[in-house]
A and B are shown apart, each in its own frame.
Chain A
Amino acid sequence: AQSVTQPDIHITVSEGASLELRCNYSYGATPYLFWYVQSPGQGLQLLLKYFSGDTLVQGIKGFEAEFKRSQSSFNLRKPSVHWSDAAEYFCAVGASNYQLIWGAGTKLIIKP
């Protein structure tokens, strides 16, 4: 069955520190992979996506993600977080019926 796992419900990071949010997926074919961010009281905003080609994908707000087929992972990274990065982050995989299969989300807390 298709699924997306974000193993960390919450992550706390100090401002200026590096960040890695984990995402693992289960999907039979070559996946289309997405990261979205949701700031408090807002809708979900696309951070980046992977369809094919270079496995390191650059997104908005200084984020990047790396697709590793052998590990079925698509982890999100940022070298130095800012207080404004505090939000919930969702990983998703594109399914064959136009839907996205969503992870449960990881809430990022920034320590001053």
Chain B
Amino acid sequence: DARVTQTPRHKVTEMGQEVTMRCQPILGHNTVFWYRQTMMQGLELLAYFRNRAPLDDSGMPKDRFSAEMPDATLATLKIQPSEPRDSAVYFCASASSGGGGTQYFGPGTRLTVL
């Protein structure tokens, strides 16, 4: 059963520290999305990639967030330096070209910044 995997599942860190979240998309999927979910803002699209190229990262705070796809099996989201307002659940989702836009979500990384 193909799934999107995310690590770590939980992360507690202190303000100012660097945080790296990782995502392994479903094998063969060529589009990867990063979302952030909070009680106040709901589900927000941060960035997404197609064939490893960034298509849109307008949802990301540029000064502290960065997203990359070093290869087709790994997507990373980095926050440096982290702030308490970054506390949220971060989801990765992947999709294939022929899927009509269907996105498959990972279990999320719950980030707490103290």
Contacts and interface: CB of A to CB of B under 8 A. Distances in A.
A95 B101 CA distance: 8
Interface in B8-38: 31, 33
A98 B43 contact: no
A98 B106 contact: no
A97 B105 contact: no
Count class of interface residues, chain B: 20 to 34
B91 A44 contact: yes
Interface string B52-93: 000110000000000000000000000000000000000101
Interface residues of A, number: 20
Given A32-B101, A43-B91, A94-B101, A99 B108 contact: no
A51 interface: yes
B103 interface: yes
Interface in B88-114: 91, 93, 95, 100-108
A55 to B, nearest CB: 16
A100 B108 contact: no
A17 interface: no
Interface in A22-58: 32, 34, 36, 42-46, 49, 51
Which of B33, B50, B103, B107 has most A Cβ within 10 Å?
A: B103
Interface of A: 32, 34, 36, 42-46, 49, 51, 90, 94-95, 97-100, 102, 104-105
CB-based closest 9 A-B pairs: A94-B101, A43-B105, A44-B105, A43-B107, A51-B100, A32-B100, A32-B101, A43-B108, A102-B43
